[in-house]
Structure formats: C-alpha cells, structure tokens
Amino acid sequence: MEITRVAVLGAGTMGHGIAQVFAQVGKYDVNIRDVEQRFIDNGMSMINDSLSRFVKKGMLDEKESVATLNRIHATLDLEGAVKDADLVIEAVTENPTLKQAVLTDVGRYAPPHAIIASNTSSISITDIGASTDRPEKVCGMHFFNPPQLMKLLEIIRGSLTSDETINTVKEVSIRIGKQPVFVNKDSPGFIVNRILIPAINEAVYLLAEGIAERDDIDKACELGLNWPMGPLKLLDYIGIDTGLFITEVIFNKTRDSKYRPNNLLKQMVRENLLGRKTGKGFYEWPVKTP
C-alpha cells in the first residue's frame, strides 16, 4: 500500500513535530488538525521556529523551508483532515478515553484503506484499536521528543494488527528518516519506557529520601552511565505529569513494584510543578511569553 497523504491529529508538543517531519523529510502532504484555533496557531508557530533554526544552522535552505510549510495544511475539521488520508497519526493528550473517542471518529471518516497509528507512549494499542472498525489497520508509532531530531521510532503491534500494516509503517518510517524498532507484543511502556521508567523513578526516590542532591543524581547518570541528560532534568523535559502518567499506566497494568510512582511525583503534579512547560519542576525554566 502506498502512502501519499498523511493526517496528524493534535498540534501540540509531539503533533506539530510529527507533521513537520512528514512534510520536511518525507515530502508528504500533511493535514494537521486540532480542536481550537489557538492550538493550531501555536503548533504552526513552533513549526516555523523549528524550520528557522534548521535554516540558520545550514541544515535546510530557505526554499525547502517554504516548500515544507506549503505541504502542511492546518484545520479544525476532523472529517476534512482525514477523509483523503492514507495514514492518520493520533497525537492527542495521553488519555485513553480521549484517544479512543478520537479514533472512533477517525474510523467513521477516514477511507477504509487508511492506517491509523497512535503516538501513545504507554497505552495499549489493542485497547485503542478496539475503538475502531479496523483493528487490523491500527498500530503504534511512538515518536520521541523532539520528533524533528530524534531518530528512534517504536512501531507497536496490537493483538489484531496485520503484517501489511506493520510493513507499510516500516517503509514510511524509513522514508521520514527514522530508525524503527518493533514491539511484537502489545505491552505497557513498550521498549524504551519499560527500561527508562524504573530508572527515572529510582532517581526520584533517591532525591525524596535525601540520599543524594538533584545535581549529583543527574551528574552521576551523565558521567557514570553516559546519559546525555540526567533523569531529573529529563523528567522536566518530558513533563512531570506525563512521566507520572506513564509510570501509573505501567504499574497499573503490571503491578510490579519497580513501577510504583514515588509520592514526590504526585505532589509535584498537584502543585503544577510540571517542569519546563510550567517554568518549574526539579529545575527552573524560562517561560515563553506570548
């Protein structure tokens, strides 16, 4: 099956970057849809900023930057966004009920041949696929932040996902410059988060129990484990609320104590200390003003 037109649902942190990658690297025509104009405007502004940085660094010329923007079509209309799409990528908030509702509507409006992929970082692809009329055409495409720079893409198979769907998504992922890895059995957290979350969670325990200070915990992982960024700073980048959600999803599914989230994470979310997105988490961050 050939993919010629792509729809990305959600213009937020991940959605705008995914749309940019498909338009810039894959040279696809992309519809990007969100529920409010302000989300669309913010997403398109972030795409413009990203492309400008690529141009300044000499990684993209101005002509191709303009061509990329011309391939991206923003809309508030879900039906219009997906009605001609060959591949629909859902990148809405990490909420199972919301994702299932969106995919139910996508199944109603998208053409029968269209593949539906979710950018979820932890939610069951089987559960998401069950909300559509085509579970064999549903899979996970888990991009990493920022999608414009991170090469890894997890491709996740649901219990009913067909080989044709996986093979098509593999071909697409290579065209957009990603290096795919395959999750053959639908499992909470997939590959990266199954490994990463216990490490991040343990770093929070070290801090909460007063065993080590923030900077020393991060420095230890950067210098001792060769991580490019320490786990507490990484949580601030991911969003502490997102990190907590992923941890709870994996823990609730596995009941394995190594995934039990530390109470400090819950407290920080209650206090809206979410990291870079709110200006303060484990670190303080400059907040962009409109």
Give residue 165's Cα distance to chain centre. 20
Decide the pairing of beta strands 87-90 and 5-9.
parallel
> What b/e string do you get for 77-92 counting C-beta neighbours within 10 Å, with b at 16 or more?
ebeebbeebbbbbbbb
Secondary structure class of 183 (helix, strand, coil): strand
From the candidates 173, 193, 201, 262, which is the catalytic residue?
Answer: 193
Q: Furthest-apart CA pair in the chain: how many Å? A: 56
Strand order in 138-143's β-sheet? 72-75, 29-33, 5-9, 87-90, 115-118, 138-143, 152-157, 179-183
Residue 142 known to be catalytic: yes
Is 64 known to be catalytic? Answer: no
In the numeric block, the tokens 């999803």 are attached to: 249
Tokens for 192, please give them: 């990266």
Q: Is 167 a catalytic residue?
A: no
Q: Which of 118, 121, 122, 173 is catalytic?
A: 121
Q: Residue 207's closest CA among 196, 218, 198, 197? A: 218
Could you say which of 16, 118, 142, 262 is catalytic? 142
> Tokens for 12?
């937020």
Distance between CA atoms of residues 131 and 118, nearest Å? 12
Q: Is 193 a catalytic residue?
A: yes
Q: Of 50, 119, 154, 173, which is the active-site residue? A: 154
Q: How many CB atoms lie within 10 A of CB 53?
A: 12
Phi, psi angles (nearest 5°) of residue 115 = -85, 140
- Treating both helix axes as pointing N-terminal to C-terminal, what angle do 62-71 and 37-56 enclose, rounded to 10 degrees? 160
User: 3-class SS at 267?
Assistant: helix
Among all residues, which ones are annotated catalytic? 121, 142, 154, 193
